Amino acid sequence: MTSFQNQVAVITGAGSGIGRATAIAFAQAGANVVVSDINDAGGQATVDQIKQAGGEATYIRCDVGNPADNQALINQTIAVYGRVDIGVNNAGIGGTFARMADQTEDDFNQMMAINVGGVFYGMQAQIRHMLTQPEGGKIVNISSIAGIRGMPMGGPYSASKHAVIGLTKTAALEYVRQNIRVNAVCPVYTHSAMVQGLIDTAPGMEEKMRRIIPMGRFGQPEEIAQTILWLCANENAFCTGQAIQMDGGLTAG
């Protein structure tokens, strides 16, 4: 396993699902981890789990839709651990499951504020600090297969995840000579609270969702976490600007 000893990883939305699995995996690999979320109880539970296993973690609240919160998160991380090597912009919402004509302006604006604003403001704060470090840093943004393909009933979500890839590729090119690598991960359905919300929209939904994935199963948060660690590994120094599809073979066809 790649070691992240002496590195500091900040993970948003780490009070649940993919973010929690990623925080645990980084801590197991030796990183000092900042667990961030708006769900204080969930975030604290992630920290407790890491500490019980002998790892190091701190919870810092941040609403990723708020630019000042994102800067405060990085400032507080530096106050606690002295640096930021890794930023995982994972926090996101699934939005309303409806066709485009039935989506509301409020839902669209909230989607853009959290799923796009969260990644944009998160990266701004992380990059400003990483530029002061000769080692630079590594950023992974969480997009989705819905950021590669259309998602019927999820127009604003799909748009937000396409935007995440645009931000990722642009930041990767802008800071490529400053040692800052920026990549994205695009998961298909992965067991989490978010996907459970989708399963619960109709009877038989889970089977329908499973059937489109060639492997015949959903992803596990731990599997997505391992891809995020691999993207951040110093051994992987030539990889930037990529959107890695973690989809059980879906986009191979």
Ligand X SMILES: NC(=O)c1ccc[n+]([C@@H]2O[C@H](COP(=O)([O-])OP(=O)(O)OC[C@H]3O[C@@H](n4cnc5c(N)ncnc54)[C@H](O)[C@@H]3O)[C@@H](O)[C@H]2O)c1
- Binding residues (CB under 6 A) for ligand X: these are 12-13, 15-19, 37-39, 42, 62-65, 90-93, 114, 142, 144, 187, 189-190, 192-195
Report the nearest approach of ligand X to the CB of residue 46 (Å): 9
Three-class DSSP labels, the chain: CCCCCCCEEEECCCCCHHHHHHHHHHHHCCCEEEEEECCHHHHHHHHHHHHHCCCEEEEEECCCCCHHHHHHHHHHHHHHHCCCCEEEECCCCCCCCECHHHCCHHHHHHHHHHHHHHHHHHHHHHHHHHCCCCCCEEEEEECCHHHCCCCCCEHHHHHHHHHHHHHHHHHHHHCHHHCEEEEEEEECCECCHHHHHHHCCCCCHHHHHHHCCCCCCCECHHHHHHHHHHHHCHHHCCCCCCEEEECCCHHHC
CB closest to ligand X, residue no: 17
Report the nearest approach of ligand X to the CB of residue 237 (Å): 25
Report the nearest approach of ligand X to the CB of residue 17 (Å): 2
Task: Say how far apart CA 184 and CA 167 lie, in whole Å.
Answer: 10
Nearer Cβ to ligand X (42/55): 42
Report the nearest approach of ligand X to the CB of residue 14 (Å): 7
Nearer Cβ to ligand X (136/138): 138
Q: Are 42 and 91 in contact (CB under 8 A)?
A: no
The residue annotated as part of the active site, out of 59, 81, 121, 157, is 157
Nearer Cβ to ligand X (19/55): 19
Report the nearest approach of ligand X to the CB of residue 68 (Å): 13
Nearer Cβ to ligand X (93/130): 93
Nearer Cβ to ligand X (1/193): 193
Q: Is 81 a catalytic site residue?
A: no
Task: Say how far apart CA 92 and CA 12 lie, in whole Å.
Answer: 9
Report the nearest approach of ligand X to the CB of residue 163 (Å): 12
Nearer Cβ to ligand X (31/146): 146
Q: Closest Cα to residue 116, out of 158, 161, 171?
A: 161
Active site residues: 157
